[in-house]
Structure 1
Amino acid sequence: MALWWPVWAIMSQFLFVPVHLCDIPSGNSRLIESVNLKLLRATLDDVSKEANPSVYLGLRLSRDHNLRLETRYLKKLKNNVETITSSSQKGTSEKPSTGILALHLMALTSACDNLGAQQRKKIIAQLTLELKEEKKNIVTNNRPKSNYFQYSLGILALCVAKKKVDVHIINKLLNAEKDKKFVHAETTTVDTEAVAGMAFMCLKRSDLYTTELRGQLSTAVESVKQKILDSQNTDGSLGNIYSTGLAVQFLSALETKDAQTCSKATEALLEAIKQGKFSNPMMMSQIMPVLHGKSYLDVANVDCTLESDNLFISPVSVLPELPNGGVSINVQLVVEGPSGQSITHDIHVPSQSSLLDILETAQKQNSNFRYEKMDSLYGPYLTSVNGVKSSTAASTYWQLLKDPNISLVEGIADYKPGDGERIILRLSKCRK
């Protein structure tokens, strides 16, 4: 999840402040400001799209602001909330997920907008009910209705909004951490660990729970910390580069930090930013708190009285497309369906094409290939290949791999294969 950094005059003020172990090293102000401005510009892109609460949340957790654009985006976000709450009450459409409700609640909590109090109450009531449904599903099916990432995010959102969470709901998350349920394909899901860890920390610091429960929460925080420390790769990333932002948020919120882990992780984030790996607004919004020495726990104490209004964005202009010199690449697209058979398609596309471009080209050129996708806050994701749909009930999904067996961490709109790459679409089953 990205933000903008202060101008030089303001930056100089921070040179005399003691450096915290997870802080971004000095000398990166221009790089961070560029990410800030990219995220701010995302609020101007495609006015027909719904507001992304994670983008607004990232902007609010920056030290620097463009208050006019933030206010404009908040108005759009509140329209989302009206649609979500009214449609749910009428039962006219599919209920929003726990994660969507949680992000909306955290966004509204960070807004310092007294006029939105009624909307916050509606979201809180709806999120509370949704978490109860998640808990019921854990009891009956040994997993949440959505997943543990969203379940953790829902608990965290209620906590930073200073609302008491049902102890039975908390215990299910504690048990999942203890039983090592936050895994995918036998690998620890660092982003889930990080969000659960922040939820545990928030609950532990609250005076709404017993001493015994706070002791259990402390133990869980230490468990999360160790798993995240163990997940560090040689390049400094935690899990993968896209889970590193949330992991550093967790580490930065700890009372006792691991200096070496934090330093290497922040260096990895900065290097990834330089390489242009954070172009997705959702991913930028998750690293934004890190770039400003904050975490989602800071939502509970946003101070609007001293906010600077010092970010300026030039009028949006259409940048000319860079010529690729007619260079094309060849990508092999391999479909592995439920029968175990594989079908390979050779696809020629311009260089720098995304996997989504490749899927679209394959569908146009081959009558025996078709796909379907669904939009999300993270961008589009693959839901069906050749008529075989992923299924929540059956816990199946279309996994994206780079040959021979490397799972892609980017989505179909963000990953850009190189010449000669072999991309595998595999129908896989989630681990319960």
Structure 2
Amino acid sequence: MYIYKVIIFLLLNAFGHSSQICSVSSSERPLINTLVQMLLQRVEDDSVDSDPAAFIALRLARQHNLRAEQSFRERLKATAIRKVTQESKGHPLTDTYQISLGVLALCIEKQQVSDSIVQNITDRAKRRQDPFGEPLSVDRASMSILALNCLHRSNLSIIPKHHIEQAIMRLLLGILAEQQQDGTIGTIYSTALAVQALFENKQEEFHVFQCSHNLQRLISEIPKGTFNTVQKVFPLIPTLEGRSLLHVGDLTCTSDQDNLPQSK
């Protein structure tokens, strides 16, 4: 583990250090609200299936329309019941992103995770490959890191923690290698999730990235309409709020305020 920390520390010197909080300023908050309002408009469309990713993004926002969120929650329940009763074979998880997201969901709910699945993720992470032998993308690496972070902080797997640490470090190196001068990590669409993965692995003596540079790159694209689908907005909202998908389990619904400004 020590040698991986040394390698990352040396790489990080090239990116600079930062002691800032990884979230947008109050003056930039209207841009987040724009994204939330867009999601709320999409989830009110009864012609398409409700997307759980949209609900997660809404929950991780710091301002809420509680009536709309409750209505959306009920639609999600109905959609889930319908899918369970009408699909005999289901939809198998097919890549590292989906598998890691499933592991993360189980871990957040403190449910036991199959050790063979965890071993598969760590083995592929060390080789930077997905289960089909393709190079691991930034999105897949980021989701794998978040899932492995959750497992590392829990006792839900018997996989040795130093194996999990090694996999996380290798994936972090891969993500850092994809960071570009303009603040993009991989592509503009993979940047938000990568920021979450990096933020969750910051060290006490340094941060693993220049958060403000990455956030400003993301913010600059919002007025252009770059993030125009649920899947593109899903990781972006929590990132701008200084949160990651790992924080879903920390939310307390009773503390929410109905404080989202009305769209004009």
Please, what TM-score do these two structures have when normalized by structure 1?
Answer: 0.53
Report the Cα distance in structure 2 between the residues aligned to 1:276 and 1:151, rounded to whole angstroms.
30
Cα contact 1:64–1:310 (8 A) shared by 2: yes
Aligned residue number for residue 59 of structure 1: 58
Aligned residue number for residue 309 of structure 1: 258
Query: 2:158 aligned with 1:196, yes or no?
Result: no
Please state whether the residue corresponding to 1:28 is helix, strand or coil.
helix
RMSD (Å), alpha carbons: 2.3
Aligned residue number for residue 6 of structure 2: none
Aligned residue number for residue 189 of structure 2: 242
Aligned residue number for residue 155 of structure 1: 103
Could you say if the C-alpha distance between residues 183 and 168 of structure 1 is closer, same or farther in structure 2, counting changes exceeding 3 Å? closer
Report the Cα distance in structure 1 between the residues aligned to 2:123 and 2:209, rounded to whole angstroms.
30
Q: How does 1:315-394 map to 2 (within 5 A)?
A: none
Q: Deviation of residue 40 (structure 1)? A: 1.7
Cα contact 1:65–1:311 (8 A) shared by 2: yes
The structure number with the bigger radius of gyration is 1
Report the Cα distance in structure 2 between the residues aligned to 1:79 and 1:186, rounded to whole angstroms.
36
Aligned residue number for residue 225 of structure 2: 276
Report the Cα distance in structure 2 between the residues aligned to 1:184 and 1:199, rounded to whole angstroms.
19
The amino acid across from 1:253 in the alignment is E
- Identify which of 113, 126, 136 aligns with 1:165: 113
Aligned residue number for residue 42 of structure 1: 42
Cα contact 1:194–1:247 (8 A) shared by 2: yes
Aligned residue number for residue 294 of structure 1: 243
Could you say if the C-alpha distance between residues 169 and 74 of structure 1 is closer, same or farther in structure 2, counting changes exceeding 3 Å? same
Query: 2:162 aligned with 1:215, yes or no?
Result: yes
Aligned length: 244
Deviations 1:106-149 (A, max 9, x none): xxxxxxxxxxxxxxxxxxxxxxxxxxxxxxxxxxxxxxxx1111
Please state whether the residue corresponding to 1:163 is helix, strand or coil.
coil
Q: Deviation of residue 184 (structure 1)? A: 10
Please, what TM-score do these two structures have when normalized by structure 2?
Answer: 0.85
Report the Cα distance in structure 2 between the residues aligned to 1:196 and 1:178, rounded to whole angstroms.
11
Could you say if the C-alpha distance between residues 305 and 80 of structure 1 is closer, same or farther in structure 2, counting changes exceeding 3 Å? same
Please state whether the residue corresponding to 1:239 is helix, strand or coil.
coil
The amino acid across from 1:95 in the alignment is G
Report the Cα distance in structure 2 between the residues aligned to 1:185 and 1:151, rounded to whole angstroms.
15
Deviations 1:198-232 (A, max 9, x none): 0010000002334x611211121111211111111
- Identify which of 113, 120, 125 aligns with 1:177: 125
Deviations 1:307-349 (A, max 9, x none): 111114459xxxxxxxxxxxxxxxxxxxxxxxxxxxxxxxxxx
Aligned residue number for residue 84 of structure 1: 83
Where structure 1 has 5 or more consecutive residues not aligned to the other structure, the ranges are 1-18, 99-145, 316-432
Cα contact 1:64–1:308 (8 A) shared by 2: yes
Cα contact 2:128–2:135 (8 A) shared by 1: no
Cα contact 1:59–1:70 (8 A) shared by 2: yes
- Identify which of 90, 93, 105 aligns with 1:95: 90
Please state whether the residue corresponding to 1:305 is helix, strand or coil.
helix
The amino acid across from 2:247 in the alignment is D
Could you say if the C-alpha distance between residues 265 and 182 of structure 1 is closer, same or farther in structure 2, counting changes exceeding 3 Å? farther
Aligned residue number for residue 264 of structure 1: 213
Report the Cα distance in structure 2 between the residues aligned to 1:231 and 1:204, rounded to whole angstroms.
24
Where structure 2 has 5 or more consecutive residues not aligned to the other structure, the ranges are 1-18
Report the Cα distance in structure 1 between the residues aligned to 2:237 and 2:104, rounded to whole angstroms.
18
Q: Deviation of residue 287 (structure 1)? A: 0.6
Report the Cα distance in structure 1 between the residues aligned to 2:157 and 2:132, rounded to whole angstroms.
31
Report the Cα distance in structure 2 between the residues aligned to 1:310 and 1:259, rounded to whole angstroms.
33
Report the Cα distance in structure 1 between the residues aligned to 2:261 and 2:27, rounded to whole angstroms.
21
Could you say if the C-alpha distance between residues 259 and 267 of structure 1 is closer, same or farther in structure 2, counting changes exceeding 3 Å? farther
Deviations 1:168-213 (A, max 9, x none): 1100110000112049997641000000000010000002334x61
Identity of aligned residues (%): 31
Q: Deviation of residue 298 (structure 1)? A: 0.7
- The structure whose RCO (Cα within 8 Å, separation 6+) is larger is 2
